[in-house]
Amino acid sequence: MARHRVIDDGGRFSVQLEVRDPILQEAIQHENADDVIKCAMIIALSVLAQSGPWPGAALASMSSFMTEMKTSLIAGLH
C-alpha cells in the first residue's frame, strides 16, 4: 500500500490517495502524477459544480479517452 497527497497550487483542494496495487503504486510515483491528478480533480469538481449536462459530458469524454487508451495499449501488446 502506498499513500500520496496532492495539493493544488491555489490551495483550493487537497487529495489523499491510497493505492494497493503495484502498478498503481508505480503510477503515483510518475514524474507527471501530481499534474495529472490535479487536472482530473479540477475537471471532476468543476463539472459537478456546474451540474446540468456537464457531469454527463465529462463522463462521456473520459469514457472515450479510456477506450482509446485501452485500444492503444492492446495494439502495443501485439
Residue with cell 498503481: 24
Q: Which residue, among 4, 28, 8, 31, has the nearest Cα to 18 in the 3D structure?
A: 4
Domain ranges in the chain? 2-77
pTM of the model: 0.81
pLDDT tens digits, 8-61 = 999 999 999 999 999 999 999 999 999 999 999 999 999 999 989 999 999 999
